[in-house]
């Protein structure tokens, strides 16, 4: 199956916003945010986990040729440990740190309960981390999270609580019960007075960015498309790349669903904005209406552009990845993993936006393949739909 304009026609950018707050400066060593110390600590810990290997950085040569750029690289998180998602790096690392600190104060791990709200993959990582650390896990999900994702968390011994409403509603319930029961929240979003654990989670995610730097060798990306929910993943990619590239930092471009574009609206206003989610995107991991304070501190000065996209292309792009259309062989790409390629293809067919984003025949593009088939039932149905469309 070849790349063609018929497929491109299904990719739509709803809104594009240039970041007026962008600063071309060396990597700032944030005081209580991501810095070399906590990123290096996470890298040392995670690379020692049983079964750890860097996930592949795949050259999508056919896609690069189609777009007229030098290369397109895809970080394939479908092969991250046994959880098929970058989320494996963050929640489990934060739980390990939390339990270790409590144990050092004489607290029995079996008396500790960790809790979080999730669309699926983060909760799975927290549940797995709790099982490894010997503590309990209470996971909160909203009504649109699939049964398969709920069951995947329960498999690790977590108690899964389903809440009516959206992600923000499940987070509110999680916070209330944690306060009432003296549980430890392990959230991948931060708020006033809650920073240490989300920073640990982002430090875990930064392992991805460090792997990319090592895998590229002397090469460096000129553009990176960042799928964004609350912003933790994006910050975890930005920080190690920024540290490696300094003031020659590449163009960071955020990609969100138009149904939950909290970062785009925040960048447009140059202050954090809350988006009321009225409809759920198929890219479940991007369905977040409120940004992380920690992530905002890193992304507000570093994002070059923010894009919001429709869901139209998701099934087709998942099928194209599976069929090896973009180059690099067959790739298991979940719904959120299509965000970067959807935005790249849509920008490529818009000459004015392509020029504004600074693409040229020498461009080196980095895409983040956030997850694989974390819900096999949804994945198979989407692939079938994509091939029949």
Question: From CA 203, how far away is CA 14, in angstroms rounded?
Answer: 31
Q: Among 218, 187, 216, 185, which Cα is nearest to 202's?
A: 187
Q: Among 70, 81, 84, 79, which Cα is nearest to 366's?
A: 70
Across-strand partners of 136? 113
Residue 84 · residue 106 · CB < 8 Å: no
Q: What is the DSSP string of 27-68?
A: PP--SSSS-HHHHHHHHHHHTTSTT--PPPEEE-HHHHHHHT
Q: What is the DSSP string of 359-374?
A: --TT-EEEEEE-BS-S
How many CA atoms lie less than 13 Å away from 196 in the CB half-sphere?
Answer: 7
* Residues taking part in catalysis: 87, 119
H runs (alpha helix) in the chain: 5-8, 36-46, 61-67, 91-104, 121-133, 147-154, 167-181, 196-216, 232-245, 262-269, 293-299, 314-322, 339-348, 351-356, 376-388
Residue 95 · residue 130 · CB < 8 Å: yes
Q: What are phi and psi of 214, to 5 degrees?
A: -65, -40
Question: From CA 32, how far away is CA 315, in angstroms rounded?
Answer: 40
Question: From CA 189, how far away is CA 271, in angstroms rounded?
Answer: 16
Residue 170 · residue 163 · CB < 8 Å: yes
């Amino acid at each position: 199956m070849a790349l063609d304009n018929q497929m491109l026609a299904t990719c739509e950018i709803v809104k594009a916003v240039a970041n007026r707050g962008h600063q071309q400066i060396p990597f700032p060593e944030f005081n209580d945010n991501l810095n070399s110390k906590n990123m290096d600590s996470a890298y040392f810990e995670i690379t020692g986990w049983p079964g750890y290997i860097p996930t592949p950085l795949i050259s999508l040569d056919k896609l690069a040729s189609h777009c007229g750029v030098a290369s397109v690289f895809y970080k394939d998180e479908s092969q991250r440990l046994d959880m098929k998602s970058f989320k494996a790096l963050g929640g489990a690392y934060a739980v390990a740190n939390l339990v270790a600190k409590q144990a050092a104060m004489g607290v029995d791990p079996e008396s500790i309960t960790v809790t979080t709200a999730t669309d699926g993959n983060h909760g799975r990582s927290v549940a797995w981390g709790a099982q490894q650390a010997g503590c309990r896990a209470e996971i909160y999900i909203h009504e649109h999270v699939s049964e398969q994702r709920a069951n995947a968390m329960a498999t690790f011994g977590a108690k899964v609580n389903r809440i009516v409403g959206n992600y923000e509603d499940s987070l509110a319930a999680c916070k209330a019960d944690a306060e009432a029961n003296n549980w430890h929240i392990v959230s991948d979003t931060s708020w006033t007075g809650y920073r240490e654990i989300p920073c640990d989670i982002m430090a875990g995610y930064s392992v991805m960015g460090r792997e990319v730097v090592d895998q590229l060798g002397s090469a460096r990306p000129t553009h990176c498309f960042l799928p964004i929910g609350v912003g933790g993943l994006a910050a975890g990619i930005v920080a190690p790349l920024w540290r490696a590239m300094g003031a020659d930092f590449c163009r960071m471009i955020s990609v969100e669903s138009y149904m939950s574009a909290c970062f785009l609206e925040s960048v447009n206003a140059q202050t954090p904005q809350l988006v009321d989610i009225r409809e759920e995107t198929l890219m479940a991991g991007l369905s977040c209406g409120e940004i992380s304070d920690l992530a905002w501190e890193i992304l507000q000065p570093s994002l070059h552009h923010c894009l919001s996209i429709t869901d139209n292309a998701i099934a087709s792009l998942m099928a194209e990845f599976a069929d090896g259309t973009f180059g690099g062989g067959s790739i298991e790409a979940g719904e959120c993993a299509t965000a970067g390629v959807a935005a790249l293809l849509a920008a490529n067919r818009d000459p004015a936006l392509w020029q504004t984003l600074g693409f040229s025949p020498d461009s080196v593009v980095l895409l983040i393949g956030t997850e694989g088939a974390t819900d096999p039932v949804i994945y198979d149905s989407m692939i079938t739909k994509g091939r029949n469309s």
